[in-house]
A and B are shown apart, each in its own frame.
Chain A
Amino acid sequence: MLDDLLIEAVVNGSVLEENYTDISVVNVVAGQPKRGFFSIIFKAFDTTSNVEVAVKFFSPIHNSDTYRMLSFEREAKILESLKDKKRCLQINTALKTATLSLSLANSHRPLNLQVKYFVTEWIDDDIDEFFLSNSSNIDILDRLRVFRDIVLAVAALHRSNVCHRDLKPDNLRKALRHKEKVIVAIDLGTAALLDSHNIIPSYTYCVGMIPYAAPESKCGLAGIRRLDSYADIFSLGCMFYELFNVDYYYDKFDNINPNVDANVLTLFGATIAREKKEEDKINRLNCLLDIHAKGVANVSVCGCNSLIPSATNGIMQELLDGLVAFDYRKRFNNFEHIIRKVDIILKVLTHQKLYQHRIKINNASRNNRIAKRANVLTDKLRSLVAGS
């Protein structure tokens, strides 16, 4: 109800400043449940800077939820710290408070409700086509380039001490920076600064989406900053797999390791929960991983209907294994290393493509030569026949 009133008021222009026009709500459909959303996003046109912007309000019905409120404030703070970073989402207006006036039926005086919001750039160019469109439509090289770009976007966040913690294709957009399209991560609602404290002491669920969530974040360790960067690497691995296969990585993993999600991680969670200190929790996790990780089977990068050519099978498997290792300590933690691997794959595939192209041209020119000679021969024969 409160959310609907806010939407109505914002769209009518009675909440935001006058420079915002053409306001429309983006992530909420009236009358439908707002599952998993704790903020309401509007698209608007900022007449001051002549650009489209995204205005993100904290949902007033969750005003009493301190954790969500603090997360919202943290998001604005993080975005401020990312100002002028090329591969990061840019904030236009820092956290502000607006007043939502509600007229009550039995009172002449309206009820004024404080609502928080901030404004970021509007980017609507998503990368869904790489993850959802027909596999044969997009070249494998383009897919790899997109992955390279995603890695650079995450690296930019980590360089700024920020972990996204909810990386998935839906949270990535192509932004225009100095006439160049680069991928940036949006929706930093669950992001955290690596040197910040937890908002809540313990986490039962993982922070991000299940198909992209790292194993350690499913056993109550989603709030431990030292592990957050590894969780982002894991999500990168899941997306890497999806770029070349029709399945979710999660489905494939669960299929060959049916016990892990249903059983092992729950028990990990119960065991780790007995520890009070963060250090002890991590030590416990390490001990559990020492014992259990060797029984976890790796997912083959070449799933059903995979696009991966056999020439790069080995190195792509190596890359996938390094990104999604069940034991977080065995995951890659150096973005340069990941980029180097992607570049090698790109080089191999480019050379292969060039080689195939050259073979194609050679074959075509040889066929032309043969055809020409045949034509000459035919002409000669014809003239001979005519002469005789």
Chain B
Amino acid sequence: MLIDDDIPEKSNLNLEKPIFQVILPVDANIPLYIDFSPRNDYEDGVFLPDLNNFTVVDKDYHKTSNYSDLFLSEYELLSKKSDRFSDSPVYLNKMASIARRLGKYDLERFYIQKAMYLVENDYFFNKYGESLILSGELNSAERHFKSRDFSENFGANLRLAYFDVLKGSYATAKKYIIRSILIQPNDYSSYLFLGILELITKEPNSAIRCFRLASELRPSSSIAHLNIGVAYLGIGNREKAFNSLKLAVSLDPLNSKALVLLVDVAVSIKKSDQVISFLKYYLSIKDEDVLVHERLAQTYFELGDCHSALYTLKNLKRVVGSDPVRVWNNIGVAYHRMGIKHRNDAFKSFKNAISNGICNNRDSLIAARNVCIMLADVKEYHTLLGLTKELLTYDVQSELISDVQFSDFYVFHLLGLANLKKFDDAVVFAENILSIERAHDALKIWVASWLISHYALEGHKHAIKLADAFCDILPVIDKQIGYERMSTLINSIVFAYVEADCTNKAIKLLPKLSNYVHKISYPTATLGLFHLRNGNIERGKELYNESIRLADYDVKDKIRQKLNYELAKYWFSQGDVRNAIKYIEKAIETKGGVPQIESAVKKFNAKIIKAIRAP
């Protein structure tokens, strides 16, 4: 197992987090928004909503009409007819409606009250309460709705549920909503409302059923499909979330929240090609939206079109104006991904991002992290070490070491030391990290993986001790850590067991390792090693060759060297010196191998020579 080259990932875009907002249109004039916070883990390139963490947003949505002048003339015109129609509820209702458009809620209530004297019905009663809500008199509004028997009043139940949501009494709100559904079983708003209540009371599957009903009652509703999408994201079903969000965006292409979520999901499930037209259309109409610009650039990256991504980001720089730290970082990423020719431009952009930002703020640190990725990529380990050393000295408060993203600076430091063959320093540094309580688990996992592999290659007894320790806590950390890091850890442990001939221990972990075999290079090679060590040569070779195919270009030789070394050992143990020599020579000829294996190969070659020369 070799992880010295395993840099965390490609240079990272710095994207603004999406807003997981579900909308609850009790009424278009008085909607409620529920904002779910994104989970802390940025899992596999997609932000997911945390269903346990939400806020109820009561926005002052209703605004005075854009056309207030025209409504004022209509109001004056209608006023002249008051002599003839002042005893007509229809006339009074129209006067009230125009007063609402003009933002004159007192006047609105004056007309509604007059209508209520003439005719007693729920319509005017509810409209009076709505007017109180619109003018911000929530307590009076609640008292108003409760002032009459509301057991048969659909609108009043919906409103009372609204007040309870504002107060955080979700169970009571649910009771009101269920009653409103019993009164009017075919109403879109109540199912939407119930769905949201189910979502915030952690019943996402039931919420999805309610949203589906709402969408059947109003098929043109983008909101219902957006809510379904957020609910699916809440339970981690990205495929279904993608379909619902796509429908939401098709119905309302200007729904930026749904669009941003759609793009994030599309990127994570490799369907970026399906969202590019939505993004382009949105920006053709609203070109000032930063979030959507960023997502378009991200989509271009995913599709491998770095030039278009760069063009989009340069456009965004124009939109953002001064001090676009995030944009500079993302431009740097574009240049970095455009290849070695644009290295200098990438560095310049990252430098701009770092110097434009406030020292140590997240945006600058993301840019610094990208610089580290670039340096590791081009194998400039001295510069990398210099940079990480400086950054780590500032981490007195353990802010970097405890952060999932920025703890990577420690990883880069370790990589630098290992690649400069300062193994003693690297081991001390790694052991030290494992002893720090505040160190992020993701970091500890990576460091432990490295250390286990290193010890295993050195044939050190600590390898098994450390592997055993992490093997015991595997069930606990299983769900918390991302796919990549988990695969690295399990692979390292199995590798250590196989190297130390602890076959039984290795067999126990094979089911876990098999999750990554045929997908990731190193676990495939480790399984190959397991077969070779157990005499299953053909299968072992097959897996090693597959691993070489899966590996990045500069890693292929390292795996090939290990395969040849293992084959040489096998044939030697079988007494076939000719084959042993053939393979050990191949291993010796391999350039750019792992230092520990290179020295082991040399030792084994000497052993073969000694055996040949022996009488």
Contact = CB atoms under 8 A, between A and B. Distances in A.
B123 A305 contact: yes
The residue among A35, A210, A251 with the most chain B CB atoms within 10 A of its own CB is A210
15 contacts: A35-B72, A36-B70, A132-B81, A133-B85, A170-B77, A205-B67, A209-B70, A247-B97, A248-B94, A251-B97, A264-B254, A294-B250, A295-B253, A304-B123, A305-B123
Given A210-B71, A256-B28, A262-B66, 7 more contacts: A135-B90, A211-B74, A258-B28, A259-B252, A267-B254, A267-B285, A304-B123
Interface residues of A, number: 39
Contacts of B218: 256, 297
A258 B25 contact: yes
Interface of A: 35-36, 128, 131-135, 170, 205, 209-211, 246-248, 251, 254-259, 261-264, 267, 270-271, 291-292, 294-298, 304-305
B89 interface: yes
Nearest to B68: A210
Interface string B211-224: 00000001011100
B496 to A, nearest CB: 57
Nearest to A36: B73
B251 A132 contact: no
Given A210-B70, A254-B28, A305 B121 contact: yes
A133 B285 contact: no
B281 interface: yes
B91 interface: yes
A132 B91 contact: yes
Contacts of B285: 267, 270-271
Contacts of A267: 254, 285-286
B423 interface: no
B222 to A, nearest CB: 5
The residue among B71, B74, B76, B87 with the most chain A CB atoms within 10 A of its own CB is B74
Contacts of A133: 85, 88, 90-91
Interface in B269-312: 281, 284-286
A246 B251 contact: no
B227 interface: no
Contacts of B103: none
B332 to A, nearest CB: 33
A345 B430 CA distance: 84
B31 A295 contact: no
A290 to B, nearest CB: 11
B29 interface: yes
Nearest to A35: B73
Contact of A295 (B69, B91, B252, B286): B252
Contact of A134 (B65, B74, B81, B87): B87
Nearest to A130: B90
A246 B85 contact: no
**Dominant SS among interface residues on chain A:** helix
Interface in B48-63: 61, 63
Contacts of B123: 246, 304-305
Contacts of A263: 254
B189 to A, nearest CB: 9
B521 interface: no
10 nearest CB pairs, A to B = A258-B28, A295-B251, A36-B73, A132-B91, A304-B123, A255-B28, A295-B252, A132-B85, A210-B67, A134-B88
Contacts of A248: 94, 97
B349 interface: no
Interface residues of B, number: 45
B43 interface: no
A115 B447 CA distance: 92
Interface string B24-49: 01011101000000000000000000
Given A210-B67, A267-B286, A295-B251, A128 B81 contact: yes
A211 to B, nearest CB: 7
B254 A35 contact: no
Interface of B: 25, 27-29, 31, 61, 63, 65-67, 69-74, 76-77, 81, 84-85, 87-91, 93-94, 97, 118, 121, 123, 218, 220-222, 250-254, 281, 284-286
Contacts of A246: 89-90, 93-94, 123
Contact of B90 (A134, A205, A256): A134
Contacts of B25: 258
Contacts of B85: 128, 132-133
A365 to B, nearest CB: 35
A173 B601 CA distance: 105
Contacts of A135: 89-90
A297 to B, nearest CB: 5
A134 B89 contact: yes
Contacts of B250: 294-295
Contacts of B97: 247-248, 251
B69 A35 contact: yes
Contacts of B221: 297
Contacts of A35: 69, 72-73, 76
Nearest to A251: B97
Contacts of B72: 35
B85 to A, nearest CB: 5
Contacts of A296: 220
A132 B98 CA distance: 14
Nearest to A136: B119
A229 B28 CA distance: 30
Nearest to A266: B66
A254 B28 CA distance: 8
Contacts of A134: 87-90, 118
A169 to B, nearest CB: 10
Nearest to A267: B285
A132 B90 contact: yes
Contacts of A211: 74
A17 to B, nearest CB: 30
Contacts of B90: 131-135, 246
Contacts of A305: 121, 123
Contacts of B286: 267
A294 B88 contact: no
A209 B65 CA distance: 13
Contacts of B253: 291-292, 295
The residue among A254, A256, A262 with the most chain B CB atoms within 10 A of its own CB is A256
Contacts of A210: 65, 67, 70-71, 74
A262 B89 CA distance: 28
Contacts of B222: 295
B126 to A, nearest CB: 9
A271 B118 CA distance: 48
Nearest to A264: B254
A254 B97 CA distance: 12
A343 B222 CA distance: 37
A205 B70 CA distance: 10
A256 B29 CA distance: 9
B606 to A, nearest CB: 74
Given A128-B84, A210-B67, A255-B28, A294 B220 contact: yes
Contacts of A270: 285
Contact of B94 (A132, A255, A259): A132
A297 B251 CA distance: 10
B217 to A, nearest CB: 10
Nearest to B281: A291
B191 to A, nearest CB: 15
Given A210-B71, A305-B123, A255 B29 contact: yes
Contacts of B81: 128, 132
A231 B287 CA distance: 30
